Amino acid sequence: MSKIISVTGATGNVGSKVAEQLIAKGYQVRVIGRNQAKLERFVALGAEAFVGDLSNTAFLTKAFAGTDGVFMMLPADVTSTDVVAQLTSTVKSEVAAIRNSHVKQVVFLSTVGAALPEKGGVIQASQLAEKLLNELDGVNVVHLRPGYFMENFFGSIPLIKTANINGGPLLSDISISLVATQDVAVAAVKRFEAQSAPDKIVQYVLGERDLTLSEATVILGKSIDKPQLQYVPFSLEDAKNAFLSFGMSENFVDSYLENMKDINEDRVFKEYTRTSDNTTSTSIEQFVDTFAAVYNT
């Protein structure tokens, strides 16, 4: 019998790819999310859907029961008036359900920046999750810490179309690791394939190379016939006003921008050493075909 793997956040950028790859490899997959309709495409491929809230420990315990492994992630509610409390509740629920269900393998989608001491905001939840997972006895845990998702550039498309610039709260000249979510999913699936004894490790997933946002923007621009496209850094105040206009809560925006400030101070992407093991294959030059397709639709 194949392994049974539960995938939380199965409709997200990473979770969906993890589910698809596991199904393709013949695993029995349980996809977990809040929207039945969005899970149906996985059901059509043979997965079992569990619809509910990740902060509901009883629901998750049922979803994880009999599971060999769990892909764990923390979806933030961008409208929450206390996003840290929301994420903390989710962390505690997921870890409790893993313990209750006697799951033996967990791949946790953490983040670059989780190694920074005494952080607040959204990073705080990843730090708490790593801590609580490390306290589980007899469980093999891998904390994946990916870099900046290339798919985040999809959020720049409206700005590019209306103002002919790319921009955001990050500085233009800070080198950051840009990684395709597909490669993060590949790293997660490889961990499930491994026959590992109980252990607790951190694995960075850093993309093909580090780039500044100015360098990345030039490459993106060429793919959409805008070779002169430039990245313009916004002040944190201007960025905050923009995010608020999208319907995000002030609490979430402040938490998110705290992380952006750490990146701008060149602290976040200094916590790792790039190696052949944490360097993944997809380059931004390969990703731009996907970017251009999304841009043109």
In angstroms, rounded to a whole number, what is the distance separating the alpha carbons of residues 94 and 61?
8
Q: What is the pLDDT of residue 105?
A: 96
Q: What is the pLDDT of residue 122?
A: 83
Residue 132 CA from chain centroid, whole number: 19
Q: What is the pLDDT of residue 219?
A: 98
Residue 278 in contact with residue 205, Cβ under 8 Å?
Answer: yes
Q: What is the pLDDT of residue 218?
A: 97
| Ranges under pLDDT 70 in the chain | 1, 120
Taking the whole predicted model, whether its pTM rises above 0.85 is answered as yes
Name the residue type at position 161.
K
Written as six digits, the tokens of 190 are 């490889």
Question: In this predicted model, what pLDDT tens digit does every residue of 79-92 receive, in sequence order?
Answer: 999 999 999 999 99
